[in-house]
Amino acid sequence: MDHPTLRLADLDEEAVLARLLPVLLHDEAPGVPVGPGDDAAVVEAPSGSVVATTDSMVLGVDWRDDWSSPQDVGHKLVVQNVADVAAMGARPTGLLLALSADPDTPVDWVLGLAEGVAAAAHESATPVLGGDLSGAAAGSVVLAMTVLGDLGGRAPVRRSGARVGDVVAVCGTLGRSGAGLRLYLDAELAAAADREAPEAAHRLRSSHRRPHCPWQSGAEAARAGASAMLDVSDGLVRDAGRLARASGVSVDLDGDALRAETHGDLLDVLGADAALREVLGGGEEHALLACFAGASRLPTTGAPWRVVGRVVERSGAPVLLDGVPHEVAGWDHFAG
């Protein structure tokens, strides 16, 4: 006999938290004198300053339950926030999770979300500090996360510091998450990929559901003297354009270097032209994009950095590809 699904509405808030908190709070939290349980947590700030970022995810906009498990959703939420802290050259020191959900949401889904958050938080050495839980309209699930970070006594690496003559380098992958999204959206492409390159297609879908940020590389880039940095959340060209506009320069991307990024799964599944489009425009990748005084200044430890362009005088277009103005829409929440 099937048992009815336990819903949030079947429990009071204390009972939900009694199930949720042990999943989220299994790690020791050095640097957190006061953790969850009081009205607020207390986090040490050894450098005397705190980096703070927040991001949200909405069911049906940022994920679909027919694609993503709750563990996938929790993982992605942590990564997109930790990436913003890393892009400032900081080390993440704590995260706060807020969940607003339809009371009919299954409790098992919420616990799965907590498992994904806890696993990704552990991977990025970021303790969970607490958060908030509330109800929402029928069919709605809205997540919000705030992540704090510490600069270790260094100045923040901002978008506005790129200088003419700098090299532009990337750490992490490009295009894989966007390609995974295309496989979910395009049934014809997915059928061909699953027939001709099933393992590559599986890896690309996984990259969309669970992107990766080389979070330790942000602080390494800061120590190496990065002049500007951000994470690639909305597509390489869109985010390089943000950096260029903030710095009053143009970024000239190297076509050969970016075509080299398409080798492997992207090329096997999409072909050369479509693979390059994803490298240029695919979002939710969370690689780090940074500028350095020269190739010899790139960090030599941790995840590898690859030169993909250079900073040039502002030429009217913020982003060039081999000297030619280039526009790729990338992701925009309101332009679609």
Per-residue pLDDT of the chain (336 residues; tens, 9 = 90+): 455 799 999 888 889 888 988 888 865 677 888 888 788 889 888 888 899 999 999 999 999 999 999 999 999 999 999 999 999 999 999 999 999 999 999 999 999 999 999 999 999 999 999 999 999 999 999 999 999 999 999 999 999 999 999 999 999 999 999 999 999 999 999 999 999 999 999 999 999 999 999 999 999 999 999 999 999 999 999 999 999 999 999 999 999 999 999 999 999 999 999 999 999 999 999 999 999 999 999 999 889 999 999 999 998 899 999 999 987 655 555 555
CA angle, residues 156, 162, 168, in degrees to nearest 5: 105
The pTM of the full predicted model, rounded to 2 decimals, is: 0.92
Q: Could you tell me which residues are beta bridge partners of residue 36?
A: 38
Three-class secondary structure of residue 310 per DSSP: strand
Question: How far apart, in whole angstroms, are the C-alpha atoms of residue 229 and residue 221?
Answer: 9
- The reported pLDDT for the residue numbered 302 is 85
Question: How far apart, in whole angstroms, are the C-alpha atoms of residue 218 and residue 225?
Answer: 11
Report the candidate in 119, 129, 123 with the shortest Cα–Cα distance to residue 94.
129
The beta strands (E) that lie in 102-202 are given as 128-135, 141-150, 167-171
Report residue 248 as tokens: 């009053």
Question: How far apart, in whole angstroms, are the C-alpha atoms of residue 261 and residue 174?
Answer: 7
Burial (0-12, 13-18, 19+ Cβ within 10 Å), 175? buried
Tell me the C-alpha to C-alpha distance, in Å, between residue 228 and each of 6, 85, 240, 245, 246: 49, 14, 11, 12, 10
